[in-house]
Amino acid sequence: MTASRWRYLANGAALVTLLSVAAVVMHSAPDRELQQSPIRVAAALGEPASGRNIHATVHSVAVAEAVTAGNGWAGTTAGVWVVVDLSVEAVVDDVGAALGTAVLRVGDTSYSASTRPGDATVAAVGLTTGIALTGPLMFELPTDVVSSAAAATASLELATNSDPRVDSLLVVPVDLAGLDVQQSIDVDFPEWGVR
């Protein structure tokens, strides 16, 4: 075999190698969804947790058939209310810092915090830097969801933006299945400052 033929073979092998490496890189590199996904921060019930611009403590979680908010609003529902009591604050900056993401995830289904009680919850309320806002979040769920198998591994997701991509997302595991369904709950109006 002549030298030029060897050269052609070597060039071909180099090209195949290059294409193979490119294929591996293409199929193993993070896709756009993964690149822009939220930065999940594992948190625990009763323990403070911090992200880039959110600091929160989930104090308690309860399930009730009816709820009366701090502004007197009485919520009736065909399902049940999951009432979360938490403190939340911005860490570095209050511009655009509202509790925009407050989602209860049960299995593959997510439930946003209800805005029906108006200003009596901390959902979508503007936060301020270093000063905690303590109050309730209320989630309206179908009755059978809280007794489903997935309810034992539910999670509460919190972020200071309605679109938490490329930012911190606090994730608090919640065992809804282990909670008794109360007949009625009265909750306090949201309050600023040290409790």
Partner 1 sequence: MKGEVKPAGWLRRNHRALLAVLVLLPATLGIMFANQWLGYFDEWPSRPVPAAAGETIEYGNARWRVEASDRVLGDSAAGRERDLPTGTDLLVVTVAVDPTGTGPDGKPDLCSARLEESGGQHATRTWSNQGPISLDGPGPERTSCSSKLTTPYTFDAEFVVPADAGESSSLSVSIVVVEALPEYASLALD
Does residue 95 touch partner 1 according to CB under 8 A? yes
Name residue 53's beta-bridge partners: none
In three-state secondary structure terms, 56 is strand
Does residue 127 touch partner 1 according to CB under 8 A? yes
Indicate which single residue of 107, 130, 173, 178 sits in contact with partner 1 (rule: CB under 8 A). Answer: 130
**DSSP 8-class letter at 128:** B
Does residue 128 touch partner 1 according to CB under 8 A? yes
Which tokens hold the place of 189?
Answer: 């109006």
- Tell me whether residue 70 or residue 79 sits nearer to partner 1 (CB atom): 70
Does residue 94 touch partner 1 according to CB under 8 A? yes
In three-state secondary structure terms, 176 is helix
d(CA 129, CA 94): 6
Smallest separation, CB 120 to partner 1 (Å)? 15
Window 58-87: residues binding partner 1 (CB under 8 A)? none
Name residue 103's beta-bridge partners: 112, 157
Kindly indicate which of the ranges 38-46, 93-101, 106-114, 151-159 contains the residues binding partner 1, using the contact rule CB under 8 A.
93-101
Does residue 191 touch partner 1 according to CB under 8 A? yes
**DSSP 8-class letter at 98:** B
- Tell me whether residue 29 or residue 194 sits nearer to partner 1 (CB atom): 194
CA-closest candidate to residue 182, choices 65, 61, 59: 65
Smallest separation, CB 90 to partner 1 (Å)? 9
d(CA 146, CA 175): 9
Query: Could you tell me how many residues of this chain bind partner 1 (CB under 8 A)?
Result: 17
Side chain identity, residue 40: R
- Tell me whether residue 12 or residue 130 sits nearer to partner 1 (CB atom): 130
CA-closest candidate to residue 150, choices 172, 177, 179: 177
Does residue 126 touch partner 1 according to CB under 8 A? yes
Interaction site with partner 1 (CB under 8 A): 91-95, 125-131, 191-195
